């Protein structure tokens, strides 16, 4: 007679639970019944004791639930409660159908509303990066002559900040008058594709510069921290004249100073279509890009 083993081997418990979709208590009952009914030929009886079809008959079939859900417009299927109220199906029934993955949660993302002209312009923009190699195949441009500029927002202070501290160290205390009115500053950034600089024999990281849109002005009022007239740094609203000034004073001179190689070829400063940005054929920007006898900078849009 085989020895009775009441303990389930722990090696494959997780795999069995996942395979058959049962709980640990059900697995324990089946194992115990099989051990108790093991015969001389080492066969266990774990047959289901239910007779034919058992359990309460469902009020709605899967097809009926599917028809009810599909008849509801999408704007009434945003929440579980609105779907249950609109379809007339109890939330418990919808939850059981959701567990079978017949009903699924899907995320809808906004997409740009583009006309045929927008699509054609995007295709032309992509085609501008394709270069011909004579009789050989077409190839993509290496973009070693492009500089990307864009605005980035940064908060003066983050509400939540993570620190790595020892177990007996205290968390640094940070205070601010109101976390709903934290100053946010715009920065103009300029980056290019990293590459190897053969002149200096070093790797150029492609970081050209980052400049905050701020100004230093005298304080108009006195408070407990400073007197009236003290120089304070304040954010500046980004307008087209301000953007042009930053291009002329910061971006173009820095590009000419740090650009590695290819100074005989034009350098394209690429920007997006935001409203404060200057036009591609702006006279002041074009003149500044061609001056000093160094690298020739041109303006372009994406």
Q: For residue 123, what pLDDT is reported? A: 92
Task: Flag whether pLDDT at 229 surpasses 60.
Answer: yes
Structure tokens at 259: 């650009």
Pick from 97-106, 134-143, 195-204: least confident:
134-143
What is the distance between the alpha carbons of residues 80 and 84, in angstroms, rounded to a whole number? 6
Mean confidence (pLDDT) of the chain: 85
Task: Flag whether pLDDT at 91 surpasses 60.
Answer: yes
Q: For residue 218, what pLDDT is reported? A: 92
Task: Flag whether pLDDT at 78 surpasses 60.
Answer: yes
What is the distance between the alpha carbons of residues 193 and 147, in angstroms, rounded to a whole number? 8
Q: For residue 302, what pLDDT is reported? A: 72
Q: For residue 41, what pLDDT is reported? A: 64
> What separation in angstroms does the CA of 241 have from each of 148, 236, 248, 278?
20, 12, 11, 8
Task: Flag whether pLDDT at 92 surpasses 80.
Answer: yes
Task: Flag whether pLDDT at 2 surpasses 60.
Answer: no
Please give the residue that has the higher pLDDT: either 134 or 152. 152
Q: For residue 295, what pLDDT is reported? A: 64
Strand partners, 283: none
Task: Flag whether pLDDT at 217 surpasses 60.
Answer: yes
Q: What is the pLDDT of residues 254-269, one digit of tens each?
A: 998 888 877 778 888 8
Mean pLDDT over 137-143 rounds to 85
Task: Flag whether pLDDT at 84 surpasses 90.
Answer: yes
Q: What is the pLDDT of residues 156-193, one digit of tens each?
A: 888 898 888 888 889 999 888 888 888 889 999 999 99
For the chain, domain boundaries: 1-50, 60-107, 144-301
Q: For residue 233, what pLDDT is reported? A: 86
Q: For residue 150, what pLDDT is reported? A: 92
Q: What is the pLDDT of residues 12-66, one digit of tens each?
A: 788 888 888 888 888 888 888 888 877 666 777 777 777 777 778 888 888 999 9
Mean pLDDT over 229-251 rounds to 90
Q: For residue 212, what pLDDT is reported? A: 94
**3-state SS track over the chain:** CCCCCCCCCCCCHHHHHHHHCCCHHHHHHHHHHHHHCCCCCCCCCCCCCCCCCCCCCCCCCHHHHHHHHHCCCHHHCCCHHHHHHHHCCCHHHHHHHHHCCCCCCCCCCCCCCCCHHHHHHHHHHHHCCEECCCCCCCEECCCCCEEEEEEEEEECCCCCCCCCCCCCCCCCCCCCCCCCCCCEEEEEEEEECCEEECCCCEEECCEEEEEECEEEEECCCCCCCCCCCCEEEEECCCCHHHHHHHHHHHHHHHHHHHCCCCCCCCEEEEECCCCCCCCCCCHHHHHHHHHHHCCCEEEEEC
Task: Flag whether pLDDT at 4 surpasses 60.
Answer: no
């Amino acid at each position: 007679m085989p020895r009775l083993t009441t303990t389930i081997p722990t090696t494959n418990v997780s795999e069995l639970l996942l395979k058959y979709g049962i709980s640990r208590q059900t697995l324990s009952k089946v194992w115990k019944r099989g051990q108790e009914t093991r015969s001389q030929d080492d066969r266990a009886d774990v047959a289901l004791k239910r007779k034919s079809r058992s359990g309460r008959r469902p009020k709605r079939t899967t097809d009926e639930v599917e028809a009810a859900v599909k008849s509801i417009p999408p704007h009434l299927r945003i929440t579980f409660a609105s779907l249950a109220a609109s379809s007339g199906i109890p939330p418990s029934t919808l939850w059981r159908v959701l567990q079978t993955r017949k009903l699924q949660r899907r995320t809808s993302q906004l997409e740009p509303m583009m006309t045929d002209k927008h699509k054609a312009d995007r295709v032309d923009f992509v085609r501008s990066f394709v270069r011909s190699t004579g009789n050989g195949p077409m190839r993509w441009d290496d973009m070693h002559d492009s500089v990307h500029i864009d605005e980035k927002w940064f908060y003066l202070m983050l509400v939540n900040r993570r620190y790595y501290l020892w177990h007996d160290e205290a968390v640094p205390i940070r205070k601010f008058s109101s976390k709903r009115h934290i100053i946010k500053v715009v920065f103009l950034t300029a980056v290019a594709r990293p590459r190897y600089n053969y002149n200096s024999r070093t790797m150029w990281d492609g970081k050209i510069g980052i400049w905050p849109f701020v100004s230093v002005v005298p304080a108009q009022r006195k408070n407990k921290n400073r007197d009236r007239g003290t120089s304070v740094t304040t954010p500046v609203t980004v307008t087209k004249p301000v953007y042009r000034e930053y291009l002329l004073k910061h971006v173009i001179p820095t590009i000419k100073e740090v650009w590695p190689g290819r100074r005989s070829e034009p350098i394209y400063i690429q920007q997006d279509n935001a409203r404060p940005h200057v036009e591609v054929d702006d006279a002041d920007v074009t003149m500044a890009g061609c001056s000093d006898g160094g690298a020739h900078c041109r303006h372009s849009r994406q």
